[in-house]
Amino acid sequence: MTRYFSRLHHTVLKRSLAINRSLSSFRTHSCGELRQEFHEGQRVTLSGWVDAIRTFGPVSFLSLRDRDGVTQLVLETDFLQKADDVVCNIRPESVVQASGVVRARPTNMRNDKMATGAVEVVVDEMTELNSCVSLPIQVSTGSEVANEDTRLRYRYLDLRRPALQQNLVVRSHISLAARNFLCSEGFLEIETPTLFKSTPEGAREFLVPTRTEGMFYALTQSPQQYKQLLMVGGLDRYFQLARCYRDEGGRADRQPEFTQIDLEMSFVTREDIMHLVERLVKEIWKAAGKELRDRPFVRMTFDEAMHRFGVDKPDTRYGIELQDVGDLLEGCEFVPLNTVFAKSRYNKRGVIRAINAKNLARSALSRKEINELEMVAKRASSTAVAFVVKVEAEKQWKSSLRKKLSALEMDQLNDRLGAEEGDVLIFAAGSYRDVNTLLGRLRTHTSRLLYAKGYLQAELDPDNFHHLWVIDFPMFERSEDDNENIPASEDKISLSATHHPFTAPRADHAVLLDDILAATARDDKKRLLEDPEIVEKLLELTAQHYDIVCNGWELGGGSIRIHQAKLQQAVFEDVLELPTLQRRSFEHLLQALSHGAPPHGGIALGLDRLVAILCGASSLRDVIAFPKSSTGNELMTNAPGPVLVEQLEAYHIQVHHDEK
């Protein structure tokens, strides 16, 4: 780090220094507190870690660091002659207490990169509180950062880095701001259990055995059911900073345990919740030293987001929007494109679409960059195909597709895509959903390439925040094992809830769902999903689900809930066709809904993601004190780990080892 604190961290630091927590037996001030205009000539006592040691002739300079910053200590000749060997041979990262007088630095020796760079402390007393042996990683200011696994293994040392400390300071201020705002709006902070029962909510659960044979708890994936039950109980405004657990693979934006700002309200509409959350988000941004424009967040339907950007959490700071070009290429005899296009035409979902990554080829695309584009495309879809076109001088194409097009067709494509020399056009063919997904991933990837090449600098500035709501999600979708490119036989069709099975349909679609379920009830022998027309109608239903998005990150999601027991049971049984055992796991909820449940809805905001965005962190692991690694392990304590056979026996568990 060339600066000890960013603008964000400096704002938060000023707020924290307003509280005099430095005054104690060990220190009168913090290491980031001293200023020439307030402290010159004062005698002070500081405590902290030795950040760096420099010797110039008979004088030594120590940089002393604590959570608030760094102060330069001066050890002059007279002091060093009287000091003992321990002080004279002190090592970096040792803990010391130092007393002395604050003086202004000479003008030519001031350090504008330090908040305390105009002063130094001339030491007349120093005590080593604890020595430090050789470090496995370097944590002093400006030192090279070790690889992530090593940092996680020695997290207690890694936490000494100012960047990580300030991320946690921001996290604390955000949490406090959320609590204060919600309490001022009449919410009650209520804790709900984390030991729950296993229920089919989507992600894999962490199971917790009990001493009753065959009986298990599950750690909550969210407080979803408990907060709905609180609404039934009449506690009409609830929130908590909820700990949640999902046994998912490690990614930069995933952790097996994470924190949500979770809330639920009774007697509200979607607009009521969205309006409140917008005000909450603005308070959170303010607490982190950021400001948002005082206007409502943009609203975008799910269909519009997928059509324009290829994702349901679009980054709207830049363009590169998806465009239809099938009408211009449908007659083209380009085999890689038309083969896939023809396979998906029968179900009316076959499309050819494209994006224009403007200026991407102005500096030569390396083979590595081209390979990365191809890998992103392959990971995004196994059925849709993509191919890349470089636009050269006079808008000519460098591509095998060029030979299959007339001059007029190429001009038409250039005009529609706004192509110019130095642009990169990426075409994709296949089903509408697969093509959108593929181009959406490539849109994100090419924006990062452009940023690395010096383009989109203003658009992708970390302090340029674009918030929006994505609304009107489909209520149901085909299950993952259904392939929309192959006609599903009647006995293979299955649906799943797009959000979760408790989400209510949009008001104007609720009547349609009631009609569908009523028609099925008249024929007890027929499965609802046996009728292709009914399946299509179900797929067209829109839910009262809403996601809040910022710069391509999903900050949170919520919905208005189903509050009638009869409708909720029909969704479980007739639409989702949950097995009997799974339906039984929701009996308590169905019973509660039948006892006078009010209309209600809520949302959960990911606290970890909020902090990551506001701190400009590339990984959630940089905003959590003790995170799990990318493999889900806690490297510092080697968790998870084995337990004694006696412990397993108490829980009626026997471990079977795989033979290798």
Based on the fold, state whether residues 165 and 108 are members of the same structural domain: no
Long-range own/partner contacts, residues 244-247 (CB < 8 A, 24 or more apart): 244/220, 245/194, 245/205, 245/206, 245/219, 245/220, 245/221, 246/203, 246/204, 246/205, 246/206, 246/221, 247/203, 247/204, 247/205, 247/206, 247/632
Q: What is the pLDDT of residues 473-532, one digit of tens each?
A: 999 998 865 555 444 444 568 899 999 999 999 988 988 888 888 776 666 656 788 888
Boundary of a domain, candidates 400, 433, 459: 459
**pLDDT of 185:** 98
* Residues 162 and 206 occupy one common structural domain: yes
- pLDDT on residue 402: 84
Q: What's the rounded Cα separation, in Å, for the pair 460 and 468? A: 16
CA dihedral 516, 517, 522, 527 (to 10 degrees): 90
Domain end point (choices 430, 459, 488)? 459
pLDDT in tens, 118-139: 999 999 999 999 999 999 998 8
- Per-residue pLDDT at 22 exceeds 80: no
* Domain assignment present for 386: yes
Q: Are residues 161 and 85 in the same domain?
A: no
In a domain, 301, yes or no: no
32-36, 340-344, 398-402: range with lowest mean pLDDT:
340-344
pLDDT given at position 293 = 80
- Cβ distance 9 to 32 under 8 Å? no
Residue 505 DSSP class: B
Give the CATH number, domain containing residue 190.
Answer: 3.30.930.10
Domain of residue 264, residue span: 146-293+598-660
pLDDT at 526: 66
Over residues 233-238, the mean pLDDT reads 98
The answer to the question of residue 473 being in a domain is: no
Q: What is the pLDDT of residues 310-365, one digit of tens each?
A: 999 999 999 999 999 988 887 777 777 766 666 655 455 688 999 999 999 988 78
Query: Average pLDDT for residues 246-272, to the nearest whole number?
Result: 89
In a domain, 495, yes or no: no
Task: Tell whether 335 and 246 lie within a shared domain.
Answer: no
List the one residue out of 574, 543, 540 whose CA is nearest residue 561. 543
Instruction: Assess contact for 440 and 311: CB atoms under 8 A.
Output: yes
Query: What whole-number distance in Å separates Cα of residue 169 and Cα of residue 164?
Result: 9
Whole-angstrom distance, CA of residue 45 vs CA of residue 31: 10
Of the residues 440, 459, 478, which one is the last residue of a structural domain?
Answer: 459
193 and 273, same domain (yes or no)? yes
Structure tokens belonging to residue 4:
């000890």
The burial class, CB within 10 Å (0-12 / 13-18 / 19+), for 209 is middle
Domain co-membership, 125 together with 159:
no
Q: What is the pLDDT of residues 106-116, one digit of tens each?
A: 999 999 989 99
Shared domain for 140 and 151, answered yes or no, is no
Same domain, residue pair 138 and 154: no
- DSSP strands (E only) in 511-551: 545-550
**Does residue 484 belong to any structural domain of this protein?**
no
Q: What radius of gyration, in Å, describes the C-alpha atoms of the chain?
A: 30
- Provide the 3-class DSSP secondary structure of residue 524: coil
Considering the domain architecture, whether residues 81 and 127 belong to the same structural domain is answered as yes
**C-alpha dist (Å) from residue 499 to 490, 505, 537, 545:** 24, 11, 18, 7
Based on the domain organization, do 162 and 136 belong to the same domain? no
409, 422 contact by CB (below 8 A):
no
Domain contains 373:
yes
What are the tokens at 579? 């097995």
Do 280 and 155 belong together in one domain?
A: yes
Statement: the pTM of the whole predicted model exceeds 0.95: no
CATH for 395: 3.30.1360.30
Higher pLDDT, 21 or 436: 436
| Domain shared by 211 and 347, yes or no | no
- CA distances in angstroms from 465 to 547, 567, 571, 614, listed in the order given: 16, 39, 38, 10
Tell me if 229 sits within 8 A of 190, measured CB to CB.
Answer: no
Position 500 in a domain: no
539 in any annotated domain: no
List the beta bridge partners of residue 244: 258
Count up the domains in the chain and report the number: 3
Q: Quick check: helix, strand or coil at residue 78?
A: helix
